[in-house]
Amino acid sequence: MVQQVGQISPDGKWLWNATEWIPYSPVLLAPPLVAWAKPYESAHFRSRFIMILLLANAAALVIGVAFDLVSLASGVDASAYSQFQTVAVGLLALAYPVAFYGTFIPCVVLFCRWLHRVVRNMPALGSWDARWSPSGAVARCFVPFLNLAHPMSGTLDAWRASDPVLLWASWPARKQMRPPALIVAWWSTWLIGSILSRIAFQMSRTSDLGTLAASTSVDLAGAVVQIAAAVLAVFTVRDVTRRQDRKNELIASGQLA
């Protein structure tokens, strides 16, 4: 007979984790070896603030889009600007970096705090074998090359662990879950937007007017994609947080046992 993940043996002493039978204790959701395991604590409070900052960052990127549009409409040769064009471009050039970095840096800080919480909740939700500790999940977001994928990987693992159908979601079981389109779209747009912005920056380091015009167009495209990434990040944070809260409610009420 095919065993189902989370199935309890008839004598109530063993649990099937998709690969083998392990000792089952209905009292402990995480084994003692997971030293950082804590009781469930919702990430709702943290998610609320990061969503506000993400939307603020998207608004800052809109300023960048306006700057690029004005630059393209006026021409990249600043010496040919009228007085109005000079003032408009100057104000946008000043407002954009202040608004962007003033929201982006807090976004990074709060995202890390949110990621720390949703990973820390995993053992309490039945995933005692989280791939990283909460601190390790955050640290990997700043390691070169790892940071190209890890913010998504950490978020995805927390999403999978919050499956409201399975009480016990081991790593083999989580690995078989198909990634949701929302998380894939969020991280894909973020990477594409970041790459376009870097390309535009490198192209702008020239005095050739044609190349400068092309760099502005690339930067415009990158800003539009990053706005989409910020909006998708809002939905991602909300979805993972709600999913964790829902599973915790089911466990606490005895509906998922």
> What digits encode the pLDDT tens for the residues 86-115?
666 677 778 888 999 999 999 999 999 999
Backbone angles phi, psi at 23, to 5 degrees: -55, 135
The token pair at 224 is: 């539009």
Average pLDDT in the chain: 86
Task: Give the per-residue pLDDT at 90.
Answer: 73
Examine residue 75 and state whether it is found in any structural domain, yes or no. yes
Examine residue 15 and state whether it is found in any structural domain, yes or no. no
Examine residue 207 and state whether it is found in any structural domain, yes or no. yes
Q: Which residue stretches of 121-143 are H helix?
A: 134-139
Q: What is the model's pTM?
A: 0.82
Dist CA 233 CA 27 (whole Å): 35
Task: Give the per-residue pLDDT at 78.
Answer: 55
For residue 145, the one-letter residue type is F
Task: Give the per-residue pLDDT at 27.
Answer: 43
Task: Give the per-residue pLDDT at 170.
Answer: 87
The residue with tokens 């065993």 is: 3
Examine residue 29 and state whether it is found in any structural domain, yes or no. no
What is the pLDDT confidence band of residue 32, given thresholds at 50, 70 and 90?
A: very low
User: What does the pLDDT average to over 131-147?
Assistant: 94
Task: Give the per-residue pLDDT at 49.
Answer: 95
Task: Give the per-residue pLDDT at 29.
Answer: 45
b/e sequence 12-30, b meaning 16+ C-beta within 10 Å: eeebbbbeeeeebeeeebb
Task: Give the per-residue pLDDT at 91.
Answer: 78
Span of 83-92, 118-127, 163-172 with lowest mean pLDDT: 83-92
Q: Are 76 and 216 in contact (CB under 8 A)?
A: yes
Task: Give the per-residue pLDDT at 2.
Answer: 55
Q: Are 217 and 177 in contact (CB under 8 A)?
A: no
Three-state DSSP class for residue 14: strand
Q: Which residue stretches of the chain are H helix?
A: 44-74, 83-120, 134-139, 150-161, 171-175, 181-203, 209-253
DSSP states of 39-68 as a string? Answer: -----HHHHHHHHHHHHHHHHHHHHHHHHH
Examine residue 64 and state whether it is found in any structural domain, yes or no. yes
Examine residue 8 and state whether it is found in any structural domain, yes or no. no
85: exposed, middle or buried (C-beta count within 10 Å: 0-12, 13-18, 19+)? Answer: middle
pLDDT per residue as tens digits for the range 174-220: 999 999 999 999 999 999 999 999 999 999 887 777 888 899 899 99
Higher pLDDT, 16 or 154: 154
Three-state DSSP class for residue 89: helix
Task: Give the per-residue pLDDT at 30.
Answer: 45
Number of folded domains that form the chain:
1
Domain that holds residue 77: 41-167+176-253
Examine residue 32 and state whether it is found in any structural domain, yes or no. no
pLDDT per residue as tens digits for the range 45-99: 999 999 999 999 999 999 889 888 877 776 655 555 666 666 666 777 788 889 9
Examine residue 9 and state whether it is found in any structural domain, yes or no. no
Distances (CA, A) of 256 to 4, 66, 128: 15, 50, 16
User: What does the pLDDT average to over 116-120?
Assistant: 96
